[in-house]
Structure 1
C-alpha cells in the first residue's frame, strides 16, 4: 500500500465520519462532529494495520517458505475487536432520564461509523460511500417520517381529583391497564383543608406512558366521564 492510497483512505474516513457526525452535532447530541471523525479514522487505521500485517506476513513467507505453517494473518480479528469495543464509547452517549432512555441513535451511529471506517481502511470505496449515504438518509430524512407516522410513547403527567379514594385508585388502575398505559409513578397529595368535599376526597398525580395510538384527549375524556372524578388536568 503506497502513501497516496493511505492519504486517500484517511481523507475519505474523515469526510465520512464528518458527514454523519455533523448531523449529530447539529442535533446537539453527546457524540458529535469530531467524535465521529475520530472513530471512523481510528477504524480505518486498524483496517490498514491489518493489511500491512498481511503484506508483511506474505513477504516473510516468500523469503522463508519453511515458515508458511507457522505464520498466520487473520484479516478479521482486529476489526471484530473494534466493532465490539466501540460499544463502550456508545454506552457513554446513552442517558437514562425521567423514565426514558436517550442517546441510542447516537450510539448506533458511532457503531456504524466504526464499521464504515473498517470498510474505508480495507479499500472498499463503493461500499463506504453508499453506506454513508444510507446512514445520512436514515438520520436526516427518516427522522421526519418517524415523527409523523411513528410517534413514540411519551411521558404524560395527569392530576386527578376524585371521590371515594380507595375504590377510585383501583378503578383508575384498571382503566390504564385496559388501555395498555403504563404507570411510571403515583403521587398522593394530602391537604389539611379540603374544599371540594368533606370525606373520601383524594388528589393524585399520575406519571404515565401511553401508547402512540392513545391520545391525551382520549385519556382526559374517559377519566372525566367517571362519576367519582371531580377534575382531570394535564400538567
Structure 2
C-alpha cells in the first residue's frame, strides 16, 4: 500500500463522511458534520493500520480484521450517546445507525473497497433524505405537532384536554407539565400526532372552548 493510496483513502473518508454529516447537521442531529467525518476517517485509519501491520510482520497468522473489528463494537458506545429518551419516546436511533454505517464506510475505504464505500454513502444519503419523505407520506409522520397549553391549575384539566384530543383521533406521544411563575396556572406540554382529516384550526377551537384553558401555542415538528 503506497503513501498515495493511504492519502486517497483518508481524503475519501473525509469527503464521504462529510456528505452524510451535512445531512445530519442540516436536521440539527446530535452527531453532525464533524462527528461523522471523525468516525469515517478514524475507521479508515484503523483499517489501514491493521493492513499495514499484517504486511509489516509478513505473518499469515496475523489477522488484519482483528483490530478493525473493534470499530464495530466501539462505535456502538458513541452511537448510544446520540440516543435521547424524551418522556415515553426515544430519539436519535437513526443518527446512531448512521454513525454505525459511516464506520462501515470508513472500514471499506481503509481496505481499498472504494466503489463499495461510495455506493454505500449514496444509499445512506438516499435513506436519510428521499426515503424520509416517502416515510412521511406513507405514515403521515409530518403531522406531528407540539402543543403548549396554559390553563388554570385545577383537577381534571388534563383529562378534559385528553378527551378532546381522543375525540379528534389525535395520538398523544408525550406529555409534561410545569408550574407558571407567580401565577396559579400551569403549562401542559404535549407532543401529538394529528390525522390529515383533522384541521389544525378546528382542533385549536375545540381546545380553546374548554373551561380553564387560557392560551394555546402549536408548532409543527419537522
Fold-level similarity (TM above 0.5): yes
Alignment pair present for 1:73 and 2:66? no
Rg comparison, structure with higher value? 1
- The match for 1:113 is 102
Alignment pair present for 1:44 and 2:44? yes
Cα deviation for residue 77 of structure 1 reads 3.2
- The match for 1:220 is 204
Task: Name stretches of at least 5 consecutive residues in structure 1 with no aligned partner.
Answer: 62-71, 193-202
Compared CA separation, residues 12 and 205, structure 1 to 2 (3 A): closer
- The match for 1:151 is 142
1:17/1:36 contact within 8 Å kept: yes
Question: How much is the aligned-residue C-alpha RMSD, in angstroms?
Answer: 3.9
Alignment pair present for 1:206 and 2:188? yes
- The match for 2:59 is 60
Deviations 1:100-123 (A, max 9, x none): 766554443332221100010111
Aligned residues: 210
Task: Name stretches of at least 5 consecutive residues in structure 2 with no aligned partner.
Answer: 218-222
2:135/2:141 contact within 8 Å kept: yes
SS in 2 for 1:181: strand
1:220/1:232 contact within 8 Å kept: no
SS in 1 for 2:59: helix
Instruction: Report the Cα distance in structure 1 between the residues aligned to 2:83 and 2:55, rounded to whole angstroms.
Output: 39
- The match for 1:200 is none
- The match for 1:137 is 126
Q: TM (normalized to structure 1)?
A: 0.66
Alignment pair present for 1:19 and 2:19? yes
Instruction: Report the Cα distance in structure 1 between the residues aligned to 2:36 and 2:17, rounded to whole angstroms.
Output: 5
1:223/1:232 contact within 8 Å kept: no
